[in-house]
Structures are given as structure tokens and as C-alpha cells.
Homo-oligomer: A and B are copies of this chain.
Amino acid sequence: MTSPTHQDGFCCAAHSGSDSMAAILETAETRARVQGARLTPVRRRTLEILLQAHGALGAYEVLEKLAAEGYGTQPPVAYRALNFLVEHGLAHRIRRLNAFTACAQPDHDHRAAFLICETCNSVTEADADLLCRALDQAAQAAGFQLDRATIEAVGQCRACQDAPE
């Protein structure tokens, strides 16, 4: 079930053009090959599903679509594909939503932060390299050796602020 507020014409900039989707898929292929990983049909299709989605998708939502297309029907099918994508930098896991979203910049390694709109459920990926550097320093001050971080902001996206109510 997609959020109703998200139906009417609006779509995240990052995912709107089918051009950019094709480009991202292309990048994904390349990136996977470089890493010695195989972007198999299920995995590729899973990435497409995420790219086409407006917000982030739960594993079971992805599973539903995969199953409808003749892939496996059981949870591990979705979780495996999704975990593969996350591990290879092609998708991100949004912990607050128990959901996954396609990476918007799969062409390079990066730390990401996510802006989650409470009104329309859109999820926007923002560059967090700077933020992570600050976090890293704060951590180091505490003697903590940082490996990776989750940064998820909750609020209202521009479109929903502008909307009358």
C-alpha cells in the first residue's frame, strides 16, 4: 500500500526520469561486475522495483512484487536480494521504516543520510560525508573507532510544507 498523498503526480526527483533509472541500472551492473558480484535477474529486478518505488519499500512489499512475477514467494527471496544490494552499495536500509530504498548515487562510495517525510513518506538521500566527518571526530574524542553510521532525519519535505494542509 503506497501512501495516498504520494499518488498525485509528485515523485522524488531522484527517481522520476526513466532515463536516470536506466542510467542507474547501468551503473549498478558495472559496479557489481567490478566488485566481482553477479547482478542476477532477481537482484536486478529487485533494484528496479526499488527504483520505481516512491518511498522506501518493506521487504514484504518487494517480495509481493517478485512473487507476482514468478520469482520465489518466500521472505528469504526478498531479504537475500535486498541484502545483496545493500552490501554492494546499490541500496540502503532505512531502519526507522524497516524498509529499503535504492541508492541515488551508486557510482561512488559514500555515507548517506536520509530525510524522511512524515506526511508523504518520501525518503530522500542526502550526502553525509561532511556530517560523518564531524561524527567521526566526536566519536574519536570519546575514544570510539567509528566504522559506519546510520543517520535518519524525520520531518517534512518541501512539497508537503508548501501544500495547504
Contacts and interface: CB of A to CB of B under 8 A. Distances in A.
Interface residues of A, number: 33
Interface string A116-136: 011000001010101100110
A138 B157 contact: no
Contacts of A118: 147
Given A96-B150, A150-B151, A150-B152, A157 B135 contact: no
A149 interface: yes
A37 interface: no
A22 interface: no
A94 to B, nearest CB: 10
A157 to B, nearest CB: 6
